[in-house]
Amino acid sequence: MSKHPGDHRDGHPVARFVALLETELAALVESPTWSLDVAATADLVPRLAGLVAGVQELEARVVGHAGVLDLPGSIGARSLAAWLARVTRVTGAEASRKARLAGDLAAHQATRVAMAEGHVHGEQAKVIAAAVDDLDGDHLAWRGKAEAHLVGEAVHHDAHDLKTLGRRILETLDPDQADEHEARLLEAEEARARKRTALTMWDDGEGLAHGRFTLPSAQASMLRKALTAIAAPKHVRATDGAGSYEHERPTPERLGQAFCEYVERYPTDQLPTMGGVNATVVVTMTLDALHGGLAAAHLDTGAALAPDQARRLACEAGIIPAVLGGQGQVLDLGRRRRFHSPAQRLAITLEQRHCQHPACTTPAAYCHTHHAVPWSEGGRTDTRDAVLLCPFHHHQTHATGDTHPLRT
């Protein structure tokens, strides 16, 4: 039975429908579905999808009306979505999606009616509303025809294909302007994508780094193609030997390994400088470890490597010895230049490893090279006079002029 029996008799039609639905659904809780045959099941799935779409449209209408009545304000909620999340116990993201759908349907009558009738679902409605709203300027008059066309196409296409059709809607309505319109939409979309581009990484302290990224579709396609090429069975068999690859389709593990290879093989001469040196990672290890010993190696970013991985990297890259300058690289430049050379920077990195302020351990890769005796006061650009400082402590040292606490 419905928890609101009064709705059956004299309530609003919407309230009566909801009460009836509650009652009927409650009666089905224990009804098994195993007795449905193939034909009935195949028939019911799309019908249920249409009913769900209709209920979602009704929910969107009621949610929109809640905004008109300022129900959020009655409990001090800062927005319709915040109120909806609280009273329905959904996440903020889901509440925001429902609130946006309510606004889209209120502004697009043909789409709302089609969804109420079960011909359009929520994903499609969102795409149709966005495509129609993108018609501006000289194309405002086409909005009604565009919406009707896309609603009709929703019977045959999913939301992804509808988005493509929406972008090219003027090919049907105004062919002469179609290319220009699509170009403007793509430019705006790519600009939004660039602003949302992000990359975060963190180390778990157990030999793994984790992360997530958001990339524009074009660059993501390039990365996917590059990794797929490295992970392709033909490439793997050529590098690792026959029988080394069991599946034709690259697995997530293999794609991860391909990403590692992609990073390791990036041309170092194409990298910008970082702290006066190309942004390559410097590996420091003993000669004994290089020849097969069991001593850990260290990166200038602060991470440690097992000796076998360090030796593998050494096989595929030039070795930068700890005693630099042996091949004519000048490490002490005196007063002939102000900034330390890349060779000097590498030597300082290997010797000091991190910021030399006693309260800081920022890895050398992220530090500046500081003159212990300021250049303006006759300081020399050599390794004996150089101190690694992170940007914060470098600025602090110059601001206070106090170099006493530094490890020199």
Secondary structure of the chain as H, E, C letters: CCCCCHHHHHCCHHHHHHHHHHHHHHHCCCCCCCCCCHHHHHHHHHHHHHHHHHHHHHHHHHHHHHHHCCHHHHCCCCCHHHHHHHHHCCCHHHHHHHHHHHHHHHHCHHHHHHHHCCCCCHHHHHHHHHHHHCCCHHHHHHHHHHHHHHHHHCCCCCHHHHHHHHHCCHHHHCHHHHHHHHHHHHHHHHHHHHHHCEEEEEECCCCCEEEEEECCHHHHHHHHHHHHHHHCHHHHHHHHCCCCCCCCCCCHHHHHHHHHHHHHCCCHHHCCEECCEECCCCEECCHHHHCCCCCCEEECCCCEECHHHHHHHHHCCCCCCCCCCCCCCCCCCCCCCCCCCHHHHHHHHHHHCECCCCCCCCEHHHCEEEECCCHHHCCCCCHHHEEEECHHHHHHHHHHCCCCCCCC
* 239 compared with 277, residue with greater pLDDT: 239
Using the predicted structure, report yes or no on whether residue 332 has a pLDDT greater than 50.
no
Report pLDDT digits (tens) over 285-313. 555 544 555 455 555 555 565 655 555 55
Residues 6+ away with beta carbon under 8 Å from 386: 340, 344, 348, 369, 370, 371, 372
Angle (CA) 47 49 50, round 5°? 65
Query: In this predicted structure, what is the pLDDT of residue 293?
Result: 55
Over residues 103-107, mean pLDDT: 94
pLDDT at position 99: 95
Q: What's the whole-model pTM score?
A: 0.53
Domains of the chain, with CATH numbers? 1-31 (no CATH), 34-194 (no CATH), 219-265 (no CATH), 270-282+320-408 (1.10.30), 283-319 (no CATH)
pLDDT (average), residues 253-261:
83
Of 91-105, 141-155, 174-188, the range with the lowest mean pLDDT is: 174-188
Predicted pLDDT at 328: 38
- Is the pLDDT at 319 greater than 50, yes or no? no
Inform me whether the pLDDT recorded for 327 exceeds 50. no
Query: What pLDDT digit, counting tens, does each position of 272-287 carry?
Result: 554 444 344 455 555 5
* Position 315 confidence tier, pLDDT thresholds 50, 70, 90: very low
Give the pLDDT confidence score for residue 167 in this predicted structure.
76
Tell me what pLDDT residue 73 has: 92
Q: 356-401 pLDDT, tens per residue?
A: 888 888 777 777 777 776 644 555 555 667 788 887 787 777 666 6
Query: Which has the higher per-residue pLDDT, 83 or 175?
Result: 83
Residue bearing the bigger pLDDT, 262 or 174: 262
Structural tokens at position 266: 């990036």
State the Cα–Cα distance between residues 132 and 250, nearest whole angstrom: 40
230 has pLDDT over 80: no
- Of residues 108 and 203, the one with the higher pLDDT is 108
What pLDDT score does 369 carry? Answer: 76
Q: Indicate the length of the chain as a whole number.
A: 408
Q: Which residues sit opposite 273 in a β-bridge?
A: 278
Residue 338 has pLDDT above 50, yes or no: no
Residue 90 pLDDT greater than 70, yes or no = yes
Tell me the percentage of the chain whose pLDDT exceeds 70.
64
Q: Which of 122-126, 213-217, 345-349 has the highest mean pLDDT?
A: 122-126
- The pLDDT mean for the chain works out to 75
31 vs 134: which has the higher pLDDT:
31
For residue 298, give Cα distances in angstroms to 305, 307, 348, 353, 388: 6, 9, 15, 9, 17
Q: CB within 8 A of 10, min separation 6: which ones?
A: none
d(CA 185, CA 356): 51
What end-to-end distance do the CA atoms of the chain give, in Å? Answer: 81
Give the pLDDT confidence score for residue 104 in this predicted structure.
94
Confidence check: pLDDT of 163 > 70: yes
Rounded to whole angstroms, the Cα distance separating 286 from 350 reads 12
Other CB atoms within a 10 A radius of the CB of residue 71 amount to: 16
Looking at per-residue pLDDT, the higher value among 378 and 256 belongs to 256
- Residues 44-69 have pLDDT tens digits of 999 999 999 999 999 999 999 999 99
The pLDDT value given to residue 140: 75
Q: Looking up tokens 């993501």, which residue turns up?
A: 220
